[in-house]
Amino acid sequence: MARKVKETDDLPKAKINKTTLKRSMRLFDYIGNHKWKLYLGMVFLLLTGGTALLFPWMLKDLVQTVEQKDFSHINDIGLYLILVLTLQSFFSYFRIYLFVNYTENTLAALRRAVYAHLITLPMSYFVQQRVGDLNSRMSADISQIQDTLTTTIAEFLRQFILVIGGIIFLLVISPQLTLLMLTIVPVVAVAAVIFGRFIRKTSKEVQEKIAESNTVIEETLQGISNVKAFANEFFENLRYRKSTEEIVKNAIKGGKYRGGFASFIIFCLFGSIVAVIWYGVYLASKNQLQISELIAFILYSAFVGASFGGIAELYAQIQKAIGSLERVFEILDEKPEILNIAEHKLITQRIEGAVVFENLAFTYPSRKEIRVLKKINLSVKKGETIAIVGPSGSGKSTIVSLLLRFYDPESGAILIDGKDAREYPLTELRNNMAIVPQDVLLFGGTIHENIAYGKPGATAAEIVEAARKANALEFIDTFPEKLETIVGERGVKLSGGQRQRIAIARAVLKDPSILILDEATSSLDSESERVVQEALDKLMVGRTSFVIAHRLSTIRKADKIVVIEKGEVRESGTHYELMNLENGLYRSLSNMQLELA
Three-state secondary structure along 129-194?
CCHHHHHHHHHHHHHHHHHHHHHHHHHHHHHHHHHHHHHHHHHHHCHHHHHHHHHHHHHHHHHHHH
In this prediction, residue 343 carries a pLDDT of 54
d(CA 302, CA 300): 5
In this prediction, residue 3 carries a pLDDT of 39
d(CA 185, CA 301): 8
d(CA 20, CA 326): 8
Q: Contact at 8 Å (CB) between 165 and 173?
A: no
In this prediction, residue 348 carries a pLDDT of 58
CB hemisphere CA count around 337 (13 angstroms): 25
In this prediction, residue 5 carries a pLDDT of 41
CATH topology of domain 7-170+319-337: ABC transporter transmembrane region fold (1.20.1560)
Nearest to 309 by CA among 193, 197, 165, 151: 193
What residues contact residue 513 under an 8 Å CB cut-off, 6+ apart?
Answer: 350, 351, 352, 353, 432, 433, 543, 544
**What is this structure's pTM?**
0.71
Nearest to 310 by CA among 164, 202, 158: 158
In this prediction, residue 1 carries a pLDDT of 34
In this prediction, residue 551 carries a pLDDT of 73
Q: What is the DSSP letter of 116?
A: H
**What angle do helix axes 291-332 and 153-173 make, rounded to 10 degrees?**
160
In this prediction, residue 340 carries a pLDDT of 64
Q: How far is CA 167 from CA 163, 251, 293, 313, 397, in A?
A: 6, 41, 14, 20, 70
Give the H or E element holding residue 518.
Answer: strand 514-518
CB atoms within 10 A of CB 130: 9
Collapsed DSSP state (helix, strand, coil) of residue 456: coil
In this prediction, residue 15 carries a pLDDT of 66
In this prediction, residue 492 carries a pLDDT of 72
**What angle do helix axes 291-332 and 74-118 make, rounded to 10 degrees?**
10
d(CA 178, CA 167): 8
Task: Name the residue ranges covered by the structural domains of the chain.
Answer: 7-170+319-337, 175-288
Concatenating the DSSP letter of every residue in 522-588 gives TTS-HHHHHHHHHHHHHHHTTSEEEEE-SSGGGGTT-SEEEEEETTEEEEEE-HHHHHTSTT-HHHH
User: pLDDT digit of tens for each residue in the chain (597 aa)?
Assistant: 333 444 445 555 666 777 777 788 888 888 888 888 888 988 988 888 888 888 788 777 777 777 666 666 777 777 888 888 888 888 888 888 888 888 888 888 888 888 888 888 888 788 777 777 777 777 778 888 888 888 888 888 888 888 888 888 888 888 888 888 778 766 776 777 777 777 777 777 777 778 778 887 887 887 788 878 878 788 888 888 888 888 888 788 777 877 877 777 777 767 777 887 888 888 878 788 788 878 888 888 777 777 776 777 777 778 888 888 888 888 888 888 776 655 555 555 788 888 898 888 888 877 777 888 888 888 888 888 888 888 877 888 888 888 888 888 888 888 988 888 888 888 888 888 888 887 777 887 888 888 888 888 888 888 888 888 888 888 888 888 888 888 877 677 788 778 888 888 888 888 888 888 887 666 566 666 777 777 777 778 888 888 887 777 778 888 888 888 888 888 888 888 888 887 888 888 777 766 655
